[in-house]
Chains A and B, each alone.
Chain A
Amino acid sequence: MSEQVIMTIDDARFDGGDGLRSVRQKALIAGVIGALATAGGYFAVGRDVFYRAYLIGWLFWLGIAVGLLSLGMIAQVAGGRWGIQMRRVQEASGRTLWFFLILALPICFGGLESLFSWARDGVAASDALVAEKTGYLKAWFDFEGTNPEWMATFVPGFIPRILIIFVLWLLWAYRLSALSNAFDAAGTHEERERARDKQIKWCAGGLLVFAVVATFASIDWVMSTDPHWFSSLYGPQFIIWQLLSGVAFSIPLMIFFGNREPLKHLLDPKQFHAYGKWMLAFTMVWGYFNASQIIIIWSGNLPEEVGWYIHRSTGGWYWFTAALVLFTFFVPFVILLFQPLKFKPKILLRIALLVLATRWLDYYWNIVPNLHPDGFTMHVFDVIAPIGIGGLWIWLLFGQVQGKVLVPVHDPVIQEALSDG
């Protein structure tokens, strides 16, 4: 196919203008105020509330950032016209991940004992189940007294694991961006094809790596808040939480970029429809995973497993659980079944905001009943901490797209879309 010049690389750059400045400004203000309030909250609300709100806020925004990056990778591997338009924005999200590594420092060096009972002194000595897992549930590299013994040598602890997880994420994020730049800079068709092939291979391999990484992330950051409980479906669930966050956050991003060059003519209702379908699919998978998990655990009725559900179905948590199921599954599921609604950006935006809100509820539901099994609890600070983290991250994300090439103009799929458009 001979390549038509419809859009040049320079046309494909996003300069943003006032719209971008305004979003970044608002995000920065919200971020700074939120961050100050969060920092002040440490002294006002106490360590326990502070760290749980902080962990949930961190997981919530991290889920969006990794979810966006993973979606871009899925789009590249699967091919087709639904995903390529937003891929460069999704790649930009990958380049912000170092921010979350920095934000992990307070959890590692201050909040470990507040959030994770296994990290407290003497717990392993008095709790037989925790004692069995000390080879894994440890902060650093504890060589003595770990169980089983071989884990002492080969398995790093919680803090080095965070570092490994983020190094892998960042490696892929920056590698994919570099390959995109190489693709844009390539002069000949062959060079481009090589860059594209290489990127597809990195994306395919990356999805495998991300799946394994997510499994350890899910155990460390969420599951081990109750050191007794385990569910081997948790890794896939963590992946779905992140993908659902990424898809839902893509909708406001698509509305923003759909009003501005260079993506203006590429983001039509069909793209919104595709993202609506993904949102429906991931919502169904969320329901499927949760239903499977409770059926298996409830039927098995083992003390170390079923307690997790008993905490969530008694003492005020019952209503929280019911609301979670209603708003995370039934409401978006029923609305998204209607095809015409998925073509309408405004309606989709509302559903996306609901989905994002339920992402936060879901992290809350997965973590806080482990820390407060006796009864429902929530603090206004639980909402403040995520605002601070989110404001700063959005400011960073929009900084990463400024002046960047957002349309891979030489990609055959984009060529096709542009000439149709």
Chain B
Amino acid sequence: MSTPETSSAATVGTNPDLTPPSDRQILSPDHDAETLTNKVSSIVFGRTPLWMYGVFALSFSLVGLLLISVVYLVVKGTGIWGLNIPVAWGFAIINLVWWIGIGHAGTLISAILLLLNQDWRNSINRFAEAMTLFAVACAVMFPLLHTGRPWIAAYWLLPYPNTMWLWPNFRSPLMWDVFAISTYGTVSLLFWYVGLVPDLGTLRDRAKNIHLKRLFHSLAMGWRGSAKHWHNYEMAYLLLAGLSTPLVLSVHSVISFDFSVAQLPGWHATIFPPYFVAGAVFAGFAMVMLVMIPVRFAFGLHDMLTSRHLQNMAKVTLVTGFIVCYGYLAEFIFAYYSGNPYERYAIAENRPFGPYNWAWMMLIFCNFLAIQPLWFKKVRQSPVALWVISFIISIGMWLERFVIVVMSLHRDFLPSSWDRYAGTIWDWGLYLGTIGFFFSLMFLFIRFVPMIPMSELKILLPEARVKGDGHH
């Protein structure tokens, strides 16, 4: 079966010939190689739908807010933020952890699910990988800006031989962060780009506009789709997957060390590394669903992003959510078991009954109670319900970092040094600005790059499975 090439993105998805995929399928059974290519590339080559101008304008106006917040910060210094002593780490570190966490779903989907032969990942991996890149871009802004003079941050952060024989402190996890995050960003970018190469080749062949053709031509790096090319490509892809797998664990573990190596009650807990990693994947999957569900609806991609995709993502969210809740439980148990009165106060008194207990209660609601409906298949099958739950989780994971950072710092050991903390308008401006930055990049990605990997989806077609398992 073949369909005439669609010229407008607005008409995509209204193809009446396609049988809707069943609950267990990851691709509509009527698709063949040509219809897949037509449908995905028509989003890139078609006209920009009107609604996209609207949402892009909205998110880009937030980028304006970001620019204003950054300029004012650079002019005035970090004093414009709500930081004080004892709460010397506020929104900046909360947002760093939040954004880095969001990126983790991309790495998990692209690397670990590939190694585990989970073929449903093939339609969502590129989308999630792009999210990883943009989330990392948002995340790194915060520590750099927190230095106050980001233009000389490299001078403080990177170890290089200098005449004053000054080195960064290698025993500090903040130093490890520099390496962990930069490695993570680099490998994620490579992985995303290598995966894109065959599809860029397809776009080059299909582009009619000469400038676009030239652009895709250089990006595709001479891809011809020969057997040798495919062989090298698959090898490179697998190697990068292997390289990315430890990164899923290491990046957020190192981030968790920022807190846990300190002696502060509420921070110093050995459960932190796996608890942070699970939280990152939890938040990441929530964000993938949060963005993907409306995009799936807007472009009519129900035949490629099927109910099975949403259900599987919901299950991963539920599992990682429970690991996060286990972390909350372990913090309580060990606060008591430690016998340490400061630890007991921080976890069991200040959190549920202290001045910020609203944040703690909302956290329990968002990350524990709100995910319970995911036990039911009906909920996992409903995109609207999943979207609402994902939204709640995204708020919950931000609150989790607020609880860990602010609630531990603001009341440490001596009551005489306790203080309160609140973000100022500039803290919020920077945070909302990065959200706008993230969505602006997401919309550009959706518009200009095939967001669903055509080459990898074709592996799932029945004709690709002639030799047993396809490419696995």
A interface with B by C-beta (< 8 Å) = 129-130, 132-133, 135-136, 148, 151, 208, 211-212, 215, 219, 230-236, 288-289, 292-293, 295-297, 299-302, 304
Contact = CB atoms under 8 A, between A and B. Distances in A.
B416 interface: no
Contacts, number: 78
Among B253, B262, B337, the one with the most A-chain Cβ atoms within 10 Å of its Cβ is B337
B273 interface: yes
A130 B329 CA distance: 22
B270 A233 contact: yes
Nearest to B339: A132
A300 B271 contact: no
Contact of B337 (A136, A236, A292, A299): A136
Interface residues of B, number: 29
Interface string B249-284: 100010001001111000011111110000000000
B57 interface: no
B274 A299 contact: no
A234 B273 CA distance: 13
Nearest to A298: B261
A212 B329 contact: yes
Among B171, B257, B338, B340, the one with the most A-chain Cβ atoms within 10 Å of its Cβ is B338
A252 B329 CA distance: 37
B391 interface: no
B233 interface: no
A297 B334 CA distance: 14
Given A232-B333, A302-B263, A295 B257 contact: yes
B87 to A, nearest CB: 21
4 shortest A-B CB distances, which residue pairs? A132-B339, A299-B261, A233-B270, A232-B271
A133 B261 contact: no
B330 A232 contact: yes
B337 A219 contact: yes
Given A292-B270, A296-B270, A302-B268, A133 B339 contact: yes
Nearest to A297: B270
Contacts of B427: none
A301 B261 CA distance: 9
A286 to B, nearest CB: 12
Nearest to A151: B336
A180 B133 CA distance: 46
B326 interface: yes
B339 A233 contact: no
A129 B338 CA distance: 8
Given A133-B339, A300-B263, A292 B273 contact: yes
A59 B272 CA distance: 26
Contact of A292 (B274, B326, B344): B274
Given A292-B253, A296-B257, A302-B268, A230 B274 contact: no
A131 B190 CA distance: 56
A129 B273 CA distance: 27
Interface of B: 171, 249, 253, 257, 260-263, 268-274, 322, 326, 329-331, 333-334, 336-341, 344
B261 A215 contact: no
Given A232-B331, A235-B330, A299-B261, A129 B339 contact: yes
A124 B330 CA distance: 24
14 contacts: A132-B339, A135-B336, A136-B336, A232-B271, A232-B333, A232-B334, A234-B270, A235-B326, A288-B274, A289-B274, A292-B273, A300-B261, A301-B263, A304-B339
Contact of B270 (A129, A130, A293): A293
Contacts of B171: 299
B246 to A, nearest CB: 8
Contacts of A301: 263
A151 B340 CA distance: 16
B275 to A, nearest CB: 9
Contacts of B249: 288
A216 B273 CA distance: 20
Contacts of A289: 274
A399 B124 CA distance: 48
Contacts of B268: 296, 300, 302
Given A151-B336, A215-B333, A233-B274, 19 more contacts: A130-B339, A148-B336, A148-B344, A208-B322, A211-B326, A212-B329, A230-B338, A232-B269, A232-B271, A233-B270, A233-B273, A288-B253, A288-B273, A288-B274, A292-B272, A299-B171, A299-B261, A300-B260, A302-B268
Among B326, B331, B334, the one with the most A-chain Cβ atoms within 10 Å of its Cβ is B334
Among A135, A232, A295, the one with the most B-chain Cβ atoms within 10 Å of its Cβ is A232
Nearest to A147: B339
A296 B334 contact: no
A211 B333 CA distance: 13
Given A300-B262, A300-B263, A230 B273 contact: no
Nearest to A155: B336
Contact of A296 (B260, B329, B331): B260
Contacts of A233: 270-271, 273-274
A295 B261 contact: yes
Nearest to B117: A80
A411 to B, nearest CB: 16
A77 to B, nearest CB: 9
A208 B320 CA distance: 12
A299 B256 CA distance: 13
Contact of A236 (B253, B271, B334): B271
Contacts of B337: 133, 136, 219, 230
A292 B261 CA distance: 10
Given A148-B336, A230-B338, A295-B257, A215 B330 contact: yes
Contacts of A132: 339, 341
A156 B339 CA distance: 18
A151 B332 CA distance: 13
Nearest to B264: A300
B254 to A, nearest CB: 10
A296 B272 contact: yes
B281 to A, nearest CB: 15
A135 B344 CA distance: 14
Contacts of A232: 269-271, 330-331, 333-334
A301 B262 CA distance: 9
Contacts of A208: 322
Nearest to A299: B261
Contacts of B329: 212, 215
Contacts of A130: 339
